[in-house]
Chains A and B, each alone.
Chain A
Amino acid sequence: GDSVTQMEGPVTLSEEACLTINCTYTATGYPSLFWYVQYPGEGLQLLLKATKADDKGSNKGFEATYRKETTSFHLEKGSVQVSDSAVYFCALRGSGGGADGLTFGKGTHLIIQP
């Protein structure tokens, strides 16, 4: 079945550091890929998405490129802020159609120190 693997946390960085959170996936066909973010005490919010190979999703300074050849969708940001502290989830939706839900990674807790 489909699966998502993302780097374990917590990841602790200083403000203005560069961020990369790795995400790789296993799926048949051409899944759609997502990054969701969960701020403390809140539900999940969609951060960005990509629906086909070589697409780049971007939002709030974050970017991720759908790489089918390496089955990856790494999240990057050039300069993080304290307000970026949250849990980040990589997810996919299979290409089989229908109303099935998303397959999530286990989440990466990001801590940004001033």
Chain B
Amino acid sequence: RKEVEQDPGPFNVPEGATVAFNCTYSNSASQSFFWYRQDCRKEPKLLMSVYSSGNEDGRFTAQLNRASQYISLLIRDSKLSDSATYLCVVNTGGYQKVTFGTGTKLQVIP
């Protein structure tokens, strides 16, 4: 089992739709969780950190479920500009190694 797993997609959604991505992690000792966004041929950029109690930033909501070992990202009212690859990032293992998922590609369609 991979340390961090994501559905690669693509997720094709119409503008205004709500879309959710999940990311599962294998190591229960993982401490820190993040969502990064990567545009085509660009570097990843932090979208949001994932706090234990869940957190929201505008149209974006991140949740952590430690019992089932997954994090989620919810995007409401999708915009064309949300089209990108969303990378799940987890600090895994005893040494807290930074591990990226393969990314989930989102395409918002007019």
Q: Say if A and B assemble together.
A: no
Residues of chain A at the chain B interface (Cβ within 8 Å): none
Residues of chain B at the chain A interface (Cβ within 8 Å): none
